[in-house]
Every structure is written in structure tokens, then in C-alpha cells.
Structure 1
């Protein structure tokens, strides 16, 4: 089993769903974890369920909040080895229905926040001899039918490009950067299923394993494995954690 004792992780949007699953799996492997989000009550409830974790209230769209998150992590744990850029406001809907404000919020909370936070942690990782950055993306960017997913797909594809660039530029510093594209039964996914039952049924038929992943067991534990030294030659890639559905070729 992967042992992350002595490692320090930041997980944005770690108070629920996939973020919580990843944070709890990292902690279970021995890492000390800082989770962030906008809802203090939700964060504190999450921390109560993750041994040794801490939390920091921040909005990833606020650059000063990202500065404070990094500073709080260093104050609490003294280092940063793993970053999980998970928080994201999702601009779903057909192009005619997505407002400029929703599209901009998607970019600010997605690729721009990822860009900013990666740059803030990279020097600290480099000083430690390296680290691993995970940027959460989506198969929405490579759907066979983009109707209703254009704005969301554009946001997530921008994040994939940043992943490739960061992997290229920081590899010499021992920093690996990966995109992961999960399907998991999170609160957000459950809400989408309930709002779109027919589309959800058709969607599930396209998953070879015929189920959604568990945020901890299927997504979080996979992230832990990707932190293992045995994966040290893997960087710049998109890892689909989706039961075999997406084709990123």
C-alpha cells in the first residue's frame, strides 16, 4: 500500500463529493491534508471525519484567498507536496442559455484558479525535491454530443492544456502534473441525475463497468496510487477514472 506519511496535501473543494473522497483517501494513506472551500460549516464537518486534517475557508476565484490558503497550509504543516485542484463552478447548459457571468465564473474557478494555485505551490514543491499536482477535468470536453456541454467542456479542456504545460515546465524540478477525469456519485452528480433522469439513464449505458465510481474508494484511492513513487515516470497525462467510458485519444 502507498504510504504518504510525511506528505502534505491541499484539496480545494474538499468539503464534499469527490474532493472529500480524495482528501479522506490521502489522509488514510498518512498524508496531512488541508481542505478548502467556501462553506465553513461544511468544511468543519468534513474535518471532523478526516483524522489529522485542517481546513481553510476561501473562494478559489479570489487570488488573495489562494495566497492565504497556501500560507495557512505552510503554517499548519510546514510544507506542500500534493495539490488537488478540485473546486469548480460548472457552466452547464446550451450555449444560448449560458450567461456571460456563468461562463466567466467557470473560467475563474477552473483554469484561472488552477493556474494561480499551481504557480503558488510549485516553488514550495521544488524546494522539497518535487511533488504531484492533480487537476480535475471532465470527459465533457470529448463528448460525442457536445450539446449542452460546450461551455463546461471548454473550461475543462483549458485546464487540460495547463496541465500539459505545467508538466513540461516543472518536470525538471521533480513536479508531476496530471489531469484526472472522474465519474463519481457526488452530491452534484446526484442532483444532475434527479434533474435529468432520461439523459442519466442513457449516459450510464455508455459506461462499460455499468456504475458510477465511489468518491473515496474509486477516485480517492486512485489519486493515492498516482502519488506513489512507482508512478514517478507518469506526468502530463489525462487519467480517466470513469469506468472506461471516455476516449481521450
Structure 2
């Protein structure tokens, strides 16, 4: 089992890609701390699914846009399972607004949830890893839009671009402590954040046509890569981004 007896925090862990990562990590033997800010009943249901499969999980309602919320998650991991081995910075939001439309409030909310949480989550997890003295992994769930513009969703792209440089720089800084920092960058995924696209047959057809593999990813396909990157299978991989996008970034309309 790739994550046997490892303790993993997953922010935004009760839906979408986060939920899939929780289930995939638990199946590989991990102990899970599930962060959530809404729908506690879904978290309870997810914990039950993990336990039915023989795994261990606890939930914590925490605002990861604040240092207090992030610290509470680290403390929960240590209290529940004795240590922390992997932090998955998965929680994220978007506004689908352009640079001309985005309000200060919208910008701040996106940057706080997507980037500030990853920055200080990295800081707090790294301090815990150093205290334990055996390294650890920080896995940021970024996006193809850390590198690939998405007009009409500017604040989101800015947050993911910042996450890219966070990973590259923090990975260099923390390498001496045996801490790996990585970005996992999905393309289009069948999750609630893409519900409006999936509900529009025309938009969905256009999107699928732009993806060389011809379809959106399923959350579990992203989750399986997350497990590999968090495990010792990827022990020599750090300070970089891994794209899982069905080839969408390389697509071309041709001539």
C-alpha cells in the first residue's frame, strides 16, 4: 500500500477532487483528516465510507483562509493520528470574472482560499515535518491555468500562477529537510466547479472537442496521480508541476 500508516490532510476534502483523493489515499492505507466548510453531513458520509473500507478518517470544519484554521488542521492530525506526513492543498474557488469585472472582494476571496491557504499551509506543515524529523510531502492541487490563460477567470489564474511559483520556490527551500513540494495540475474535471459547463450540451461538446482524449477527467483519475505523487514512488520528484489534462494544453485547431 502506497500510503500505509501515513497521515494526510486534505483541504476541501468532502467533495469533488478532494473527496476522490480522500478515498484513494484511504484505499492505500492512509489516515485522513478531512477539512470542510460546508455540508457536514457529506463529511460524515465520507468518513463512514472510509471506515467501511477499513481506513481511518476524521473531519474538521476549518476556514483554511486563516492561519488559525490551518493550524487547527495540523493539530487535529497530530492529536488523532500522532503525526503528519502529507498536506494536500486542494480547496479552491473561482469567480469566472474578467480583470475588468472582478471586484476587490471577489479577488481577495479567491486569493485567500486558493493561494494564501496554500502558502501558510505549506509553512505550518513544513514546521511540523521538521519537528518530526523525517520529511514530508506538500501537494498543491493547482490547474492547467497556472500556466495557460483562461480569459474571463482572471483572479483564479492569478492564484494558480502564484501557486506555481510557491511550489517551485518552497520546494527548493525545503529540500534540505527532506520535504517535497509539488503541484498537480488537472485540466477539465467532472466536479461541481464545472457543473455549468456539464449542464450545457453545446459547451460540453466544444470542451470535449478541444481535449485530445475527447473527454473530461473523472475525479478519481486525478486522485490516483495524487496518491502516486504523495508516496515514495515519487521520492525524487519535487519543486515542479505535473499536468494531468488529457492533452488539452497541447491541443490545436490546425490550419
TM-score, normalization: structure 2? 0.89
| 2:192 corresponding residue in structure 1 | 187
Cross-structure match for 1:10: 9
How big is each residue's C-alpha offset from its partner over 1:8-58, in whole Å with a ceiling of 9 and x where there is no partner? 000000001000001110000000010101022222222122221111001
Instruction: Say whether the 8 Å CA contact 1:140–1:149 is kept in structure 2.
Output: no
Go from structure 1 to structure 2 and tell me whether the alpha carbon gap of 1:93 and 1:199 turns closer, same or farther (over 3 Å shift): farther
Q: Is contact 1:240-1:246 (8 Å) kept? A: no
Is 1:173 the equivalent of 2:177?
A: yes
CA drift of 1:197 comes to 4.6
Unaligned runs of 5+ in 2: 251-255
What residue in structure 2 maps to residue 50 of structure 1?
50
**Is the aligned partner of 1:80 residue 2:118?**
no
Shift of 1:153: 0.6
1-structure distance, mates of 2:153, 2:248? 16
| Displacement after TM superposition at 1:64 (Å) | 1.1
CA shift for structure 1 position 159: 0.9
Q: In structure 2, what is the Cα distance between the partners aligned to 1:197 and 1:97?
A: 26
Q: Distance in 2 between matches of 1:128 and 1:42?
A: 35
Counterpart selection for 1:158 from 153, 162, 167: 162
Partner of 1:28: 27
Alignment CA distance shift 1:114-1:215 (3 Å): same
Deviations 1:98-147 (A, max 9, x none): 2211111011001111111111111222324111111111122433x632
Q: CA RMSD in A?
A: 1.6
- Give deviations 1:84-104, integer Å, cap 9, x for gaps: 001112132222222211111
Does the aligned pair in 1 maintain the 2:146–2:162 contact within 8 Å?
Answer: no
Whole-Å separation in 2 of the counterparts to 1:75 and 1:49: 22
Aligned counterparts of 2:215 and 2:50: Cα–Cα separation in 1 = 26
Q: Where does structure 1 lack aligned partners over 5 or more consecutive residues?
A: none
TM-score w.r.t. length of structure 1: 0.92
CA spacing shift, 1:11–1:104, aligned 2, 3 Å: same
Quick one: distance in 1 between partners of 2:128 and 2:12? 21
Question: Structure 2 CA distance, aligned partners of 1:42 and 1:5?
Answer: 25
Within the candidate set 60, 65, 69, 2:69 is matched to: 65
CA distance in 2 between counterparts of 1:167 and 1:14 reads 24
Find the counterpart in structure 2 of residue 234 from structure 1.
Answer: 237
Q: Is the 8 A contact 1:92 1:148 kept in 2?
A: yes
- The answer to whether the 8 Å contact 2:2/2:29 transfers is yes
Question: What does 1:117-136 correspond to in 2, within 5 Å?
Answer: 117-126=121-130, 127-136=132-141
